[in-house]
Chains A and B, each alone.
Chain A
Amino acid sequence: MLLTQEKVDFLKTISFFDRLHERQLQKLADICVENAYGKGEVIFQQGDVGGILYIVVEGQVLLERELDRQEDTISMSVVNPQTSFGEISLFYDAPRSVTATAMKNSKLLSMDNDDFKEFIRQYPDMLMEINQVLSQRLVEAHDKISEIARPHKPRELRKLYEKLDF
């Protein structure tokens, strides 16, 4: 178990919170719950109700998107320590868009959205930081889309294949 001070020290290293003072961080630490997941354990499933934001303290978490009518998934990202996930549910009340699974034995901090929002109301400056992270996620999603949509043959070759379309 992490002591409150240890939580504070960890939270300081997260870009979300790097403008907060010691006292604010302590308040934040009070609403953080520590969770442990074994390797392979599912943290949440795509389609579940959201409402909690997670930060990886130790270990690694895989975010996967399940494809319709297929036993197949696309891995969206691997979340490493000091990085958050599940933050979309903070402002957007929709089911989880991905499944999160611990790839290693992992230690996470979780925050209930209502508690966290209450905290943000007291320190609205934090919204800028959170916005930045959400925008970053959007860019990452765009990268992912272009990676998946990338034609698997180079253009020169595709042109040649088109010539064979007799």
Chain B
Amino acid sequence: MTELIMLHSFRGGTGKTNISANVGALLAMSGLRIGLIDTDIQSPGIHVLFNLDESSVDKTLTSYLWGESGIEEAVIDVTESLGDKAGGKLFLIPSSIKASDIARILRNGYSVTLLDEAYQRVQDALELDALIIDTHPGLNDEILLSMALSNTLGIILRPDQQDYQGTSISMKLAQNLEVSDIVMIVNKSPQLFNEEMVKSKVEEAYSGEVAAVVPHSDEMMALSSAKLFVVEYPDDPLTGIFKKIALRLMT
């Protein structure tokens, strides 16, 4: 069975996209078949980590949602971006980055239940071990539907009062939707914070599990989403933390 893993945060900029891509990359390197799908149709971004731009992306999730292409046609094999270390496969299903497409889908809407079918199809067609869903922050139709479908939800938060409030909302949503496995990931924790203390504080506040506390990293920031951290810095302690997250999300 394919794991359907969704990474979500109530507020923006927490690191959903970078964590999705890096976790996906690690799992593919370890020999699994992994899909990454960008359901952030109004502000897509994960393609950037794989050096893709408007000219290198043709069919997308967006064109599928309009019935203009099959979802299989939108799949891009990005295994090469993992260097020669990949034992498995990494596939990306991007959303359209054309301004006119984004305006069109916001204006006309689409049948959101097609997403369910898209997940099913790529899982089967690509024989995936896991499909990782990158989302827009907050709550919208895509997020609600994806949350209800996913087996594992990773809620990402920064140690910040606004994120704390947002996280309690995400938690409530996920519990009401009966998501079976919910974990929190604290990201961008200041280097001077004690990670164990942050972890226990957050676990206590939400009576939930924290999979990892990821420190703020200047190297990560300097990569500016242009590359995969785990490929560039395979021996960095941060890569070790991403591995821990990857392992936890798969179990």
Q: Answer whether residue B141 sits at the interface, using C-beta atoms and an 8 A cutoff.
A: yes
User: Bound complex: CA of A164 vs CA of B113, how far in Å?
Assistant: 18
For window 128-162 of A, CB contacts with B under 8 Å fall at 152-154, 156-157, 160-161
B contact residues, total (Cβ < 8 Å)? 13
Q: Contacts A166-B172, A166-B176 given: A160-B148 contact, CB under 8 Å?
A: yes
For window 59-115 of B, CB contacts with A under 8 Å fall at 109, 111-113
> In the complex, are the beta carbons of B113 and A157 less than 8 A apart?
yes
Minimum C-beta distance from A9 to chain B (A): 42
Q: Contacts A160-B177, A164-B173 given: A154-B148 contact, CB under 8 Å?
A: no
Could you say which of B112, B172, B177 contacts A154, with CB atoms under 8 Å apart? B112
A contact residues, total (Cβ < 8 Å)? 10
Q: Answer whether residue B144 sits at the interface, using C-beta atoms and an 8 A cutoff.
A: yes
B165-199 Cβ-contact flags toward A at 8 Å (1 or 0): 00000001100110000000000000000000000
Q: Answer whether residue B145 sits at the interface, using C-beta atoms and an 8 A cutoff.
A: yes
User: Bound complex: CA of A166 vs CA of B171, how far in Å?
Assistant: 13
B124-151 Cβ-contact flags toward A at 8 Å (1 or 0): 0000000000000000010011001000
Minimum C-beta distance from B136 to chain A (A): 16
> In the complex, are the beta carbons of A163 and B177 less than 8 A apart?
yes
> In the complex, are the beta carbons of A160 and B145 less than 8 A apart?
yes
User: Bound complex: CA of A154 vs CA of B148, how far in Å?
Assistant: 15
User: Bound complex: CA of A163 vs CA of B139, how far in Å?
Assistant: 14
> In the complex, are the beta carbons of B176 and A154 less than 8 A apart?
no
Q: Contacts A160-B177, A163-B176, A164-B173 given: A154-B113 contact, CB under 8 Å?
A: yes
For A163, the chain B residues whose CB sits under 8 A away are: 176-177
For B112, the chain A residues whose CB sits under 8 A away are: 153-154, 157
For B116, the chain A residues whose CB sits under 8 A away are: 156
Q: Residue on A with the closest CB to B111?
A: A154
User: Bound complex: CA of A156 vs CA of B116, how far in Å?
Assistant: 11
User: Bound complex: CA of A161 vs CA of B141, how far in Å?
Assistant: 9
Q: Residue on A with the closest CB to B144?
A: A160
For A166, the chain B residues whose CB sits under 8 A away are: 172, 176
For A152, the chain B residues whose CB sits under 8 A away are: 109
> In the complex, are the beta carbons of A156 and B173 less than 8 A apart?
no
> In the complex, are the beta carbons of A157 and B145 less than 8 A apart?
yes
Minimum C-beta distance from B24 to chain A (A): 26
A to B CB contacts below 8 Å, 27 in the list: A152-B109, A153-B112, A153-B141, A154-B111, A154-B112, A154-B113, A156-B113, A156-B116, A156-B145, A157-B112, A157-B113, A157-B141, A157-B144, A157-B145, A160-B144, A160-B145, A160-B148, A160-B177, A161-B144, A163-B176, A163-B177, A164-B144, A164-B173, A164-B176, A164-B177, A166-B172, A166-B176
Q: Measuring CB to CB, which residues of chain B are less than 8 angstroms from any residue of chain A?
A: 109, 111-113, 116, 141, 144-145, 148, 172-173, 176-177
Q: Measuring CB to CB, which residues of chain A are less than 8 angstroms from any residue of chain B?
A: 152-154, 156-157, 160-161, 163-164, 166
Closest 5 CB pairs of A and B: A163-B176, A154-B113, A160-B144, A160-B148, A156-B113
Told that A154-B113, A160-B177, A166-B172 touch, could you supply 6 new A-B pairs with CB distance under 8 A? A153-B141, A154-B111, A154-B112, A156-B145, A157-B141, A164-B173
